[in-house]
Structure 1
């Protein structure tokens, strides 16, 4: 990973610490108090040994030290328990805030942006990669503070007793962070590649699982299984690379700590044998001094060893943060001329007219999809939009829904669409797409999605309008009939009519219909069209369709090709002109 990128990601991780609230500070405070308790515990043990062994005092003479030792042990256990709980709470709050920020960003970018990646990749981002941040805040950040405080506290206690022991600790301590830096150079990059491999595997697997029927029908089961195996093997190898670095880091940290403690033990051993005579400020080395220092020596390196153990959490967080930062910082360039600082106005109207003047619609990455086009949809009229695939028909509807940026003027009742509050504007819309999305839940939940206050009788009225009430009443569960994920349990035609009932649940003044009968049989198509014609009385409507048989019921037809309007007018006029619509009608009649 590029050093500047890693540095910027680390800075971003640090900037998110405020989400942890006071719990992160409490975790660090518990660590500080535990460090002080460690020194007190070492003092009590050393004092007991000095009094019993060297001064030949009875155990009763060290009763205060024994009481202090027991109390310190209990205090350390309580601090460890509290620290574990507050650390988890800090990570939990951080994950909650980051996950909410990701979901808000996805809502802001809209469905067009989300469809640019497999659903499995988004699931990996929202769940796995956000979870990867937990240990960084719950363990690594507090430990990084303790790795500086506790060794410094121990050095302050050791140097006044024996400067040689202090120098040994001080000289060997930098070896551990030096090696951590060396390991960290590869760990962050390995973790980032591991996150990428996981997202690729998740997206690949979920997409194949959703399209399992198609895979089986085209006899591609063995080939797709091989592809999943390849992606899984890539993820396994990258995971093992991360684990190898983590184990290597731990092993080397243990080695340097053991060497340092061994050097201290040798120094004190030779000092007690009178082979060494330095470091004691001229007062000799007592058993208390040697035991006190040797007991503290492992504790001196323990915070550094713990930091090394948790260092992979930083590498993991940096790897996960790259995708998160890329998403959260993703900016859709606004091409409209409205002042972004202007306050959004509420929208309310009994009818809706649309004016497009030199309108250009862009993708979320800035590619022009439509334009420039101009048209005027008067209030109460129903227009059809036709054209070959890729002409820009759906993109035009997405611009009206507020999902795509645009340039030029797009006016709603003479007000710029960019000046309206999108949530308020969408309350006046009814949208029905060619691929209806029903959610896991009951029929009642799905129909009342936009208006949870609907009564059962009102929901049944909507189902009657959508010509699907008979199916519900004939079922034993009625409105409590469960619909599984991806509309499982109902046919495509039934799902489309449930979606139509949901669209009719709000008093819409503008209907935006994107191939509403594309997946229906002839009988279901006529039923849905009849329901739509009845619901659209008095409202405006734009219908994208490939079915040219019913265009004579439309007030006007827009013919689009390659992002431009090439014809517009009533069917009776356009079908006799030498143009794209006449060609499409002839081709459909020949079929």
Structure 2
């Protein structure tokens, strides 16, 4: 990773700190207070030792020193506990904020863009990579300031007592941060590689897990197991590279700290032996000064050592932020422009397209220029071979893809409408309806609606779903992936959910493709109930649906070749070929 990129990511990480600034400042204030108490404790301890050893003072007279020491230990322990709580809350708040940003971005770019990456990679960003930012805010950033405050407080305390000891501390202190900067360059690269490897492993594992049935049928489980093993081994190696850098930095920091403390110990040793007579402002070096400076010397370097320990948290955060920032800052045509106008839809919806070109989430054209009209209250069938652009058109109407040209809803341009409010007027049923883990009632109310019990019962009746919901009950638990219901039952629940939305635009993407004949008839009866008061666009190949449609749009390779009703199209052009193929497939 380039240095400029690392600097940019570090600035981005610090910019996210704004919401937690009050807690962050409180953390630093408590740390500064702890440093002052530390100096006071050290003064008490050095004074106590000097009086006991050099002055042979009465022990009862020294009792206040003991009480002061105990009080200092208690206060510092309390402050440390409170700082740990504050640091944890800072990390938790920032993680929640970033996860909300990622979810908001996913919502804005839509499912069409999300499907371009494996589901496991999104899970990695949301979980592991955001989690790797916790210690950056909980530990590293506070420690960065503390590594300046505590040494400065100690230097202010040491210099009036012995300028030579203060000079030793001041000259040796820069060795620690210089080495940390050198190590940090390699650490950030290792962490970034580790995060990328983890994202690939997560994506591969989730994809293989979801396709386990297919892999077993084709006897590919062993081959895929070896593939996962190789990816796991790559992740192990990158993790060990990160740990090697972390352990190396800790060892070298300990070495420099030990050398620095040893230099001070040698200075005071020779001073007590009378070999050195400088540093104490013309007076002899006292036992109090020696104890005071030597006890504070490890504490002087401790914040720097802790910063070195937490430096790998900085490297891990930069590595994780690389993927997060790439995602959050990627351009999406759906996010460009206004799109805040609420749709004025008092009656049926009429849709007109002129020179409409559907674009991918990256902005490349998916169709040629399309011209069509969906009259208010009409039923339109959309037909074509796989890859013709039917699903792209459906995704566009749902607001999940951008476009060029004109697409007007009751005279208003679609891309100028507020997408969330626009979708409130849409009822959609696809080939594989989403049923979340939860009760049947939870899934029926997924569309942000608040129907009463009578409306729910009516929707279930119209969707021909009462035959199983009465038996199972609305509190029946559906497992992840819709386990517990058949495909036909899941489809009828999706239709009941669409009925409860009472949408003015009904979009159907081959809703009966995976059903048997009986379930298909039940679903189609329910769909006819929805379509009575809606403008309907249905992707279908069923001849009966085509016969009863007001108009048919025939697509091939991203272009609308034919438009008209069934009687007008059945004996001409590409539609006649599709119809003949359909009849042959049925027979």
Same fold (TM over 0.5): yes
Q: Deviations over 1:469-498 (max 9, x none)?
A: 1112223xx111111111111121211111
Equivalences for residues 67-466 of structure 1 within 5 A: 67-333=67-333, 340-341=337-338, 343-466=340-463
SS of 2:563's partner is strand
1:574 corresponds in structure 2 to 569
Q: Deviations over 1:257-315 (max 9, x none)?
A: 11111111111111111122222221010001110000000000000000011111111
SS of 2:386's partner is coil
* Residue 517 (structure 1) aligned to one of 492, 512, 519: 512
SS of 1:148's partner is helix
Cα distance, 1:458 vs structure 2: 2.5
* Residue 584 (structure 2) aligned to one of 553, 576, 590: 590
2:50 corresponds in structure 1 to 50
Q: How far apart, CA to CA, are the structure 1 residues paired with 2:2 and 2:14? A: 18
SS of 2:371's partner is strand
Q: How far apart, CA to CA, are the structure 1 residues paired with 2:439 and 2:510? A: 25
SS of 1:49's partner is helix
Q: Deviations over 1:176-214 (max 9, x none)?
A: 111111110011111111111111111111121112111
Q: Deviations over 1:365-385 (max 9, x none)?
A: 111112311111111111111
Q: Deviations over 1:314-368 (max 9, x none)?
A: 11111111111112112212599xxx35851343222011000111111111111
Asked if the contact 2:164–2:278 (Cα under 8 Å) also holds between the matched residues in 1, the reply is yes
TM-score, normalised via structure 1 length: 0.96
SS of 2:366's partner is strand
SS of 1:371's partner is coil
2:538 is the alignment partner of 1:537: no
Of 292-301 and 185-194, more deviation after overlay is shown by 185-194
1:10 corresponds in structure 2 to 10
Q: How far apart, CA to CA, are the structure 2 residues paired with 1:452 and 1:540? A: 21
Asked if the contact 1:448–1:459 (Cα under 8 Å) also holds between the matched residues in 2, the reply is no
Asked if the contact 1:364–1:404 (Cα under 8 Å) also holds between the matched residues in 2, the reply is yes
Cα distance, 1:79 vs structure 2: 0.7
Q: How far apart, CA to CA, are the structure 2 residues paired with 1:28 and 1:335? A: 39
2:503 is the alignment partner of 1:501: no
Q: Deviations over 1:529-553 (max 9, x none)?
A: 1211122113211111233453111
Q: How far apart, CA to CA, are the structure 1 residues paired with 2:529 and 2:75? A: 75
Q: How far apart, CA to CA, are the structure 2 residues paired with 1:548 and 1:561? A: 18
Of 340-349 and 485-494, more deviation after overlay is shown by 340-349
TM-score, normalised via structure 2 length: 0.97
Where structure 2 has 5 or more consecutive residues not aligned to the other structure, the ranges are none
Cα distance, 1:502 vs structure 2: 0.8
Q: Would you say how many aligned residue pairs link Structure 1 and Structure 2?
A: 585
Asked if the contact 1:352–1:413 (Cα under 8 Å) also holds between the matched residues in 2, the reply is yes
Q: Deviations over 1:538-589 (max 9, x none)?
A: 3211111233453111111111112111111112222211x22222222223
Asked if the contact 1:191–1:242 (Cα under 8 Å) also holds between the matched residues in 2, the reply is yes
Cα distance, 1:514 vs structure 2: 0.7
Asked if the contact 1:466–1:498 (Cα under 8 Å) also holds between the matched residues in 2, the reply is yes
Q: How far apart, CA to CA, are the structure 2 residues paired with 1:335 and 1:569? A: 35
Cα distance, 1:61 vs structure 2: 2.5
Q: How far apart, CA to CA, are the structure 2 residues paired with 1:467 and 1:228? A: 45
Q: How far apart, CA to CA, are the structure 2 residues paired with 1:315 and 1:6? A: 9
Cα distance, 1:124 vs structure 2: 1.5
Name the CA shift for 1:548/1:5 in 2 (closer, same or farther; >3 Å): farther
SS of 1:543's partner is strand
Asked if the contact 1:431–1:511 (Cα under 8 Å) also holds between the matched residues in 2, the reply is yes
Q: How far apart, CA to CA, are the structure 2 residues paired with 1:422 and 1:345? A: 8
2:466 is the alignment partner of 1:472: no
Cα distance, 1:108 vs structure 2: 1.2
Cα distance, 1:9 vs structure 2: 0.5
Where structure 1 has 5 or more consecutive residues not aligned to the other structure, the ranges are none
Name the CA shift for 1:451/1:53 in 2 (closer, same or farther; >3 Å): closer
Q: How far apart, CA to CA, are the structure 2 residues paired with 1:502 and 1:58? A: 86
2:555 is the alignment partner of 1:560: yes
